[in-house]
Structure 1
Amino acid sequence: MKALGIAATGMLAQQTNVDVISNNIANANTTGFKTSRAAFQDLIYESVSREGVLTSEQGTATPTGIDIGLGVQTAGTVRLNTQGGLSATENSLDLAIDGTGYFVVNMPDGSRAYTRDGSFRLSAEGELVTLQGYSVDPGIVIPENTQNIEISEQGVVMAYVENDPAPVELGRLTLATFINEGGMRPVGNNLLEATVASGDELAANAGDPGVGVIRQGYLENSNVNIIQQITDLIAAQRAYEMNSKTIETADQMMSTATRMR
């Protein structure tokens, strides 16, 4: 009886589904977080009878065959890169990308990571860094005695130093885009890495065609829809229960067969 194995694959798949949904709900308030969903695909089929088999000397054939599937497996997790809502923070170092693109982060090992979390701060040397202390490309350093910082929608960073009415341009924040954003690998701390699937980063300036703009004093909320996640969670729970019921039914059928004399 194949039902036991088939139902077991269904339970494993729904367990993965619940894990993904749980992570979405847990990160409902994580800055810049993007919802993921589990994608599934059916397994190979066992062909009991082929379609098109001749049934008479006159050439009639069976219109359909008998194919029994062997269950389901998780094909991957799909990240939904839709825009999250923007929340005003009144902090001049909080930045949000309104549209496509990622902030570029220089990692301590020399690699590059990417984030939608613009909760930036200043290091002891006055450099613009993430909450983990990683440098934000291209390495903006704020001078001492800076009274105010202005960052334009195009990413140009201006500083008003002491009582000088003329601002000093410190540099321009660059953004990165990818042909396949879904192929990027999440590594924690609100960071993503480029992979072979995502392709290499495409350097861009904020406000370029097809690239978002930077909003100073805002942060991007997660795009998690709690109501949808709760609905998906209930559906996953019911699917898990139905698969477990299938195992119970198959067990009862096998028990009945062994009691026959």
Structure 2
Amino acid sequence: MTNAALHVARTGLDAQNAKMRVIANNLANVNTTGFKRDRAQFETLAYQAITAPGAPSSDQNKYATGLNLGSGVEVMGTARIDTQGSMQTTGNALDLAIEGNGFFQVLRPDGSTAYTRDGNFSLSAEGTIVTTDGMPVQPQIQIPDGAQSITIAADGTVSAQLQGQTEANVIGKLQIARFVNPAGLQAVGGNLLIETGASGAAQAGDAGIDGRGNIRQGNLESSNVNIVEELVDMIETQRAYEINSKMIKATDEMLQYANQNI
């Protein structure tokens, strides 16, 4: 039994260590544009059924509860919390934020499409709207050379006013992608997410329609990490780690006592 207790406590240490890593990543990205915090999810390991509930205890009686011994805990996964981050006004025409559900679409170097809430865009040398890593936003928008101003409406319509003209010309339209299960998207770094079987297929369309959020020009969405909440979780995780460590120490002392006195 004592050896089993050592194993159970070890799984507790591993699980709390994994949760601390999740918390550390949340705090590290507190200033990352469009970042969504993660939450560690736990599940019990297999149980050993010594006595099954309802098994006969005598000719006429049955066990009401039985005897089941757990074998520990593990982190079953991480859940991304997709709550809206606060809006930061920048005044930059190419800083965009999504108010509501949805993701910007960008073209990766391998030709696949990735999704992001980071609307910190800029222009390439060819006048294309791109991410900070140079990946073009989809559908691709080409800003004419010499454009005096760029306006992006809430529905994604992009207009540019050229020199010598009094009215702005529509030059394209940004689309927003939404997913049935956005928590199923896989993070690949660089503020990018990719589609998986759990997320469902991307449903791209105009902003503000069919559950897609509106685009806010001149704004960036802040991380939704709450520092106070993360610090409380960190303290709780640290205490749980210490308790599991003490369990290992107590079990070790029990084994020493048994070896010396039995």
TM-score if structure 1 supplies the norm length? 0.98
Partner of 1:14: 16
Partner of 2:231: 230
Distance in 2, Cα, partners of 1:53 & 1:91:
71
Partner of 1:169: 170
C-alpha deviations, 1:87-124, integer Å up to 9, x for none?
00010000000000000001121100000000000000
Distance in 2, Cα, partners of 1:66 & 1:177:
48
For the aligned residue pairs, the C-alpha RMSD in angstroms reads 0.8
Secondary structure of the corresponding residue to residue 239 of structure 2: helix
Distance in 1, Cα, partners of 2:232 & 2:247:
23
Secondary structure of the corresponding residue to residue 255 of structure 2: helix
Secondary structure of the corresponding residue to residue 9 of structure 1: helix
Distance in 2, Cα, partners of 1:55 & 1:26:
56
Distance in 2, Cα, partners of 1:26 & 1:200:
30
Distance in 1, Cα, partners of 2:112 & 2:55:
59
Secondary structure of the corresponding residue to residue 208 of structure 1: coil
Residue 51 of structure 1: how far off its partner (Å): 1.8
Q: How does 1:139-150 map to 2 (within 5 A)?
A: 139-150=140-151
Partner of 2:36: 34
Partner of 1:189: 190
Matched, 1:106 2:107: yes
Residue 53 of structure 1: how far off its partner (Å): 2.3
Distance in 2, Cα, partners of 1:88 & 1:51:
61
Partner of 1:123: 124
Distance in 1, Cα, partners of 2:58 & 2:162:
94
Partner of 1:47: 49
- What count of residue pairs does the alignment treat as equivalent? 260
Partner of 2:88: 87
Distance in 1, Cα, partners of 2:58 & 2:186:
57
Q: Unpaired runs of 5+ in structure 1?
A: none
Residue 27 of structure 1: how far off its partner (Å): 0.3
Distance in 2, Cα, partners of 1:241 & 1:190:
34
Secondary structure of the corresponding residue to residue 247 of structure 1: helix
C-alpha deviations, 1:167-206, integer Å up to 9, x for none?
1111100110011111101011111000111111011210
| Sequence identity percentage | 47
Matched, 1:221 2:222: yes
TM-score if structure 2 supplies the norm length? 0.98
Secondary structure of the corresponding residue to residue 197 of structure 2: coil
Secondary structure of the corresponding residue to residue 237 of structure 2: helix
Partner AA of 1:134 in structure 2: M
Residue 60 of structure 1: how far off its partner (Å): 1.3
